[in-house]
A and B are shown apart, each in its own frame.
Chain A
Amino acid sequence: MLPVIVVHGGAGHVPKDRSDVSCVGVRDAVRAGYAILQAGGSAMDAVVETVTLLENNPAYNAGRGSALNVKGEVEMDALVMDGRTLASGSVSAVRGVANPIQLARLVMEKTNHLCLTAEGASKFARAMGVPEVPAESLITDYARMRWKKNLLPDANPVECQMGKMGTVGAVAVDKEGNTACATSTGGMLNQMEGRVGDTPCVGCGGYADNLIGAVSPTGHGEAIMKVTLSRLILFHMEQGQSPQEASDLALAYMKERVNGLGGVVVVDTKGTWAARFSSLQMAWAAAQQDQLHYGLYHGEDFIEPICV
């Protein structure tokens, strides 16, 4: 059953032309992550590489293609967690880096801290020699169009956001049974400057623990935070629920208690995986035993072989 990797490209409702691109992107990314795992690479390497690819792909709300804040600027959040030691690294409201997920990993590996925010995160990036990219290079025409649309007085950014969530994330278990998760996002459409969502918060925007499994969520960030969605799912798994049952229980609870929609990718330490969502769609893909699974709508699980 090992290794295994599961990836999502955000929960929401996207128009067909964009959903096609989104589905291709997660399939390509999961193949790249699976190749790392098959070659004996670590779960941490696999999830970071996978999320890096999705950040570089302008179809997603992470890295290039991020949603813009109310001032039309990009501020990004990212989190990685290593299930072996519970070591984690995160950045919040960071600007001017192409791959926040790699910066989050550097926070984990090179500092005594877990989370660096805003200007402090940029300062750390400079100290680490991470190249600063022009703010403009992270902005797509699509993101700018959506930002302008939501500046209108009758706009509803939360509603519109469900049109394209596009947070990206991955969970994996490597051949040695180590788990890891990675999540990256540009945040919420037309968010206030400095708004931090669930993504960089341990237990909300992701959690990995070799004793249980790993989770990466997507959806309405404020709702995910209020129920600490990732830790909640793993808690249900600790109580004996399968990844799928645990995800469905937690997503239903989030809908009932705080009226929030979202989706998750989950693995347990044996390699059982799930990709579940309460939104209309979630682009996801999984790779295990040389097979690629993928889907967009509820109930879908298309399978094709992975040629290694």
Chain B
Amino acid sequence: MKTAIVVHGGAWAIPDALAEASVAGVKSAVRTGHAVLENGGSALDAVEKAVRCLEDDPVFDAGHGAVLNTDGEVELDSIIMDGKTLATGAISSVRNIANPVSLARAVMEKTDHVMLTDRGANMFAERIGFPSVHDLVTEREREEWENYKKFSVGVKELFNLQCAHDTVGAVALDSLGNVACATSTGGIRNKMVGRVGDSPVIGSGGYADNRSGAVSCTGHGESILKVTLARLILFHMEQGKSATVAADSSLQYMRERVQGGGGAIVVSPTGEWAARFTTPRMAWASINGDILFYGLNPGEEFTETK
């Protein structure tokens, strides 16, 4: 059976200065994830590896490069979901972890729970031997945050002013027909301490089900939560809509009902895929067959051989 993988580096008004690095980052991550699938690896392994790549890349707001909360600290959210069993792991507001997506996976595989938060998540990380890191903050983010502090505006305004927000995510279909999703983020700059967005919330930041497909979302977190965006897209697909139409109509609904912008990547159990967004830009890449697809601006779809 053919495999498919799609990754995103966040839906927002990516400034020109970051455009090239963002596109290079998603292309590199999708290649990493695809290599897992090509070697017979699972969709779960592929999305975890792809998201780890994006977390390690300081250009994205996840892992290294994450944005700072109002106290100038990094708090990270992540989810991973296995479409075969609906097994899920998530963490919210965890600190000093380089690869939150792998910690989310450990929650899924090593506990009876789906979600751990804050100190409890860090205690779990320590117990299972996850290294604690102290270099997640980039110089660029420290400067942006300090600038931001000088011109304090609300988060919704911030988002609509098209500054800093770029959750990362991946969805994949493996050769056995299993789908999976993973999403990881540092959230929104200057968020309140303990703010949890859509990313770690099942059905909002991501959802995967072998019967309908897998989705990873990005955009204004509070809006995504209000419409449970990932699950909504899959409901539409269960009703017979294509991945593209399902994503477009759900994003459109989110814009009309709660005035929120965002993006989503989708893969269906048959390998049909989509990368759609209502924000000015979203860095995305996909490998399907021998072709690598990628884009940044609305309507763009460049191809190259993988």
Kindly list chain B residues whose C-beta atoms are within 8 Å of the C-beta of A228.
202-203, 207, 228, 231
**Contact between B113 and A118, CB atoms less than 8 A apart:** no
**Contact between A118 and B87, CB atoms less than 8 A apart:** no
Query: Would you give the shortest CB distance from B198 to chain A, in whole angstroms?
Result: 8
| A197-233 to B contact mask, C-beta < 8 Å, 1/0 | 1000111100100000000000001100111100110
Q: A112-B222, A119-B194 are in contact. Are A93 and B203 (CB under 8 A)?
A: no
A235–B119 Cα distance when bound, in Å, is: 35
A103–B222 Cα distance when bound, in Å, is: 17
Kindly list chain A residues whose C-beta atoms are within 8 Å of the C-beta of B90.
196
Does residue A289 face the partner (Cβ distance < 8 Å to B)? no
Q: By CB atoms of chain B within 10 A, which of A115, A119, A202 has the most?
A: A115
**Contact between B202 and A119, CB atoms less than 8 A apart:** no
Query: Would you give the shortest CB distance from A82 to chain B, in whole angstroms?
Result: 10
Q: Quick one: which of A223-254 are within 8 Å of B by CB?
A: 225-228, 231-232, 235
Q: A120-B195, A202-B201 are in contact. Are A222 and B114 (CB under 8 A)?
A: yes
Q: Is the interface of B mostly helix, strand, loop or mixed?
A: mixed
Which listed segment binds A: B49-57, B120-128, B267-275, B286-294?
A: B120-128
Q: A112-B222, A120-B93 are in contact. Are A196 and B116 (CB under 8 A)?
A: yes
| B115-141 to A contact mask, C-beta < 8 Å, 1/0 | 111111101100000000000000000
- Chain B's closest residue to A158 (CB) is B112
**Contact between B195 and A203, CB atoms less than 8 A apart:** no
| B239-259 to A contact mask, C-beta < 8 Å, 1/0 | 000000000000000000110
Q: A117-B92, A119-B193, A119-B194 are in contact. Are A86 and B118 (CB under 8 A)?
A: no
A117–B124 Cα distance when bound, in Å, is: 17
Kindly list chain A residues whose C-beta atoms are within 8 Å of the C-beta of B85.
258
**Contact between A196 and B115, CB atoms less than 8 A apart:** yes
Does residue A183 face the partner (Cβ distance < 8 Å to B)? no
In-complex Cβ contact of B88 among A115, A197, A225, A235 (8 A): A225
**Contact between B119 and A225, CB atoms less than 8 A apart:** no
In-complex Cβ contact of A196 among B87, B92, B222 (8 A): B92
**Contact between A193 and B119, CB atoms less than 8 A apart:** yes
Chain A interface category by residue count: 35 or more
Does residue A121 face the partner (Cβ distance < 8 Å to B)? yes
Query: Would you give the shortest CB distance from B34 to chain A, in whole angstroms?
Result: 28
**Contact between B120 and A231, CB atoms less than 8 A apart:** no
Kindly list chain A residues whose C-beta atoms are within 8 Å of the C-beta of B121.
194
Query: Would you give the shortest CB distance from B155 to chain A, in whole angstroms?
Result: 4
A188–B114 Cα distance when bound, in Å, is: 12
Does residue B204 face the partner (Cβ distance < 8 Å to A)? yes
A225–B203 Cα distance when bound, in Å, is: 8
Kindly list chain B residues whose C-beta atoms are within 8 Å of the C-beta of A86.
226-227, 257-258
**Contact between B203 and A196, CB atoms less than 8 A apart:** no
Does residue A195 face the partner (Cβ distance < 8 Å to B)? yes
- Chain A's closest residue to B156 (CB) is A112
Q: A93-B118, A226-B87 are in contact. Are A192 and B195 (CB under 8 A)?
A: no
Show 28 A/B contacts (Cβ-Cβ < 8 Å), sorted by A: A86-B257, A86-B258, A92-B117, A93-B117, A113-B192, A113-B222, A114-B197, A115-B92, A115-B225, A116-B192, A117-B118, A120-B194, A124-B192, A191-B113, A192-B113, A195-B115, A195-B120, A196-B113, A197-B113, A203-B204, A203-B228, A204-B201, A207-B228, A222-B114, A226-B88, A228-B207, A231-B203, A235-B235
Contacts A115-B201, A116-B195, A117-B195 known; list 20 others, CB within 8 Å.
A88-B225, A92-B117, A112-B156, A114-B221, A119-B119, A124-B192, A193-B119, A194-B118, A194-B120, A195-B115, A195-B117, A197-B114, A201-B202, A221-B114, A222-B113, A225-B115, A225-B203, A226-B202, A228-B203, A258-B86
Chain A residues at the B interface, C-beta cutoff of 8 Å: 85-88, 92-93, 111-121, 123-124, 158, 188, 191-197, 201-204, 207, 221-222, 225-228, 231-232, 235, 257-258
